[in-house]
Structure 1
Amino acid sequence: MRQQGISRTLLKQIKFNGGDIKVGGESVRVTYKMVTGQWLEVTLPPEVGSDSIVASPTPLEILYEDAHFLVVNKPAKVASVPSHLYPDDTMVNRVKGYLERTNAASQVTHIVTRLDRETSGAVIFAKHHFAHTVLDTQLKQHALRKTYLCVATGQFRQRHELIDQPIGRQPGSFIKRTVAKTGKTAQTEYWVVKQMAACSLLRVRLHTGRTHQIRVHLASIGHPLVGDFLYGQQSNPWIDRQALHCASVSFFNPFEQRQVTCYAPLPDDLANLIINESQLNA
């Protein structure tokens, strides 16, 4: 079962919360030893939604959907998950509202990938615990790929680089991160797409998933993101947030045995920034 992506935690839930494991149509214990040619059937336990999560009526921009996964385009200025600051109109709240409106089999929200509130782009949700476990495993194995577009200050000498620097908390700050020898391994790869007068358009791929990773790594080499108030300056007239967008996500769907790749269109504010900064070159 573990070879098929069922985690130890999910296995416990199957055993103790109303699921079932059958071989040849008969319920068996997890210690049952199978032989070649037998079929294993697993029934997941029913999922109970949280009453503390408010369903939002705000519509979603859906990039991809099947029976197991939902990929949506998150606007900037919308948080990924609820908090005391943003309790009822995050992406989790909006997805819960969508699941209720469509009478989904499970109305529990399983968010797989998250973005900072100011960052726009593709966010993946799983429609049940098993699908969430599968993608969590792909995240840990770096098989789930996320590609970003961003605009960073200055012009780059290198057209392509892999930034391999550990990231940890900045002393004295609960929010801010920094490159630190005592931090966790972090790898960010970038390609310069377009050089402009005062900034550059980059395509970025994350090989790890640390908090604020792109923002911290680019700031550490002297190129903070345009509009980034935390690691740079929020002084650009064309955008009032960090110029960062998750442009695509790609993962393997084991239920349909195929690779799924979703693209999130460039938002207007980021497009306007690129257009206006490019015109300064003319």
Structure 2
Amino acid sequence: MWVQIPPQALFYLMLDEIHVIYEDKNFLAVYKPANLLVHPVRISNFQFPIFKKPTLVDWLLKHYPEIKNVGDPSTSSGQANLRPGIVHRLDKDTSGVILVARNQKYFNYLKHLFSLYERSPEGRQSHQIKKTYLALVYGELKPKTGVIKEPIRLKSGTIKRTIWKGKMEKQAITEYKVLKYYQRKSVLNQHKSATLSLLRVYPKTGRTHQIRVHLASIGHPIVGDALYGPKKSPSTGSGQAPLDLKRLFLHAESLEFSTVEGSRIKIEAALPEELKIVLRKIKT
């Protein structure tokens, strides 16, 4: 007999996947699973909220309650800080490493580093913070290394971002390197195949949805991207066996930065099992 699990339970099960990669007295490096919001979104942003979804912040406050008052001050309207300890973004759809400050001094320091990274017009400050992602994209991406330099802005009337050539828009820079090409044989015709490319991606600026928008703009959207990808999977549509991927194939693999003391630290998050399974399925 099939038992239907309510959506609330699915989100609480997701909290069990969170784990600490590194911690000291100043900050945590935590693994965030895909499809989990980092922090609560104000209900006023939605017309018809169904239920309050658990977030990474819920998990953090349960296990590290001392961070409750770490972060930016409450809003002018008196609403509490919804992002205690959180110093940078990681999309709901993306898995991987995220940093959390444990005290106000380190929050201010890390927030400053990330603000330099995010507002850098040409990636000039990006040497202070180095982010690395893994992405699986549709098609045979060539050349094997490249740089995408295209400004990004919010698309009017939607939550999507788009490439924009206006002079006033902030520059966005993404470097990439192809690690491997995968040929997926058609289940209908063994003489036909579809190519997927596994990339290591190095964003040099920190715009919202930057990697997703940039890769889609050059004709290689990320596998599993319901927002910027094709309406119908190219692989499934051409007779390929479905990947059965319930998430975006984008993973924040590592984050490197300088500590207050001046030492360099690199935090790494292993590729989650659901993405390893996909790579095993399409292995050449």
* TM, length-normalised to structure 2: 0.72
Query: Is 1:242 equivalent to 2:248 in the alignment?
Result: yes
SS in structure 2 of the partner of residue 111 of structure 1: coil
Contact residue 88 and residue 111 of structure 2 kept, 8 A: no
Q: Greater shift after overlay, 263-272 or 213-222?
A: 263-272
Larger Rg: 1
Identity of aligned residues (%): 38
- Rounded to whole Å, the distance in 1 between the matches of 2:256 and 2:68 is 24
Query: Residue in 1 aligned with 2:91?
Result: 116
- Rounded to whole Å, the distance in 2 between the matches of 1:248 and 1:97 is 25
Query: Residue in 2 aligned with 1:215?
Result: 212
Counterpart code for 2:111: D
Match of 1:80 among 32, 38, 45: 38
Shift, 1:206, TM fit:
0.9
- Rounded to whole Å, the distance in 2 between the matches of 1:238 and 1:261 is 32
Query: Residue in 2 aligned with 1:271?
Result: 276
- Rounded to whole Å, the distance in 2 between the matches of 1:120 and 1:184 is 26
**Residues 1-80 of structure 1 aligned to structure 2 (within 5 Å):** 58=15, 60-80=18-38
Query: Residue in 1 aligned with 2:173?
Result: 187
Query: Residue in 1 aligned with 2:186?
Result: none
Counterpart code for 1:89: P
Query: Is 1:172 equivalent to 2:130 in the alignment?
Result: no
Query: Is 1:94 equivalent to 2:94 in the alignment?
Result: no
Query: Residue in 2 aligned with 1:128?
Result: 103
Query: Is 1:155 equivalent to 2:140 in the alignment?
Result: yes
**Greater relative CO (CA pairs within 8 A, separation 6+):** 2
Contact residue 61 and residue 68 of structure 2 kept, 8 A: no
Aligned residues: 219
Shift, 1:87, TM fit:
4.0
Shift, 1:107, TM fit:
5.4
Contact residue 67 and residue 127 of structure 1 kept, 8 A: yes
Contact residue 147 and residue 249 of structure 1 kept, 8 A: yes
Moved over 6 A (4+): none
Query: Is 1:203 equivalent to 2:209 in the alignment?
Result: no
Q: Residues 88, 230 of structure 1: CA spacing in aligned structure 2 closer, same or farther, 3 A cutoff?
A: closer
The RMSD of aligned alpha carbons is: 2.0
Q: Residues 105, 274 of structure 1: CA spacing in aligned structure 2 closer, same or farther, 3 A cutoff?
A: closer
Q: Deviations over 1:144-174 (max 9, x none)?
A: 211000101000121100101100112332x
- Rounded to whole Å, the distance in 1 between the matches of 2:68 and 2:39 is 18
- Rounded to whole Å, the distance in 1 between the matches of 2:105 and 2:228 is 37
Contact residue 238 and residue 272 of structure 1 kept, 8 A: no
* TM, length-normalised to structure 1: 0.72
- Rounded to whole Å, the distance in 1 between the matches of 2:205 and 2:95 is 19
SS in structure 2 of the partner of residue 70 of structure 1: strand
Query: Residue in 2 aligned with 1:39?
Result: none
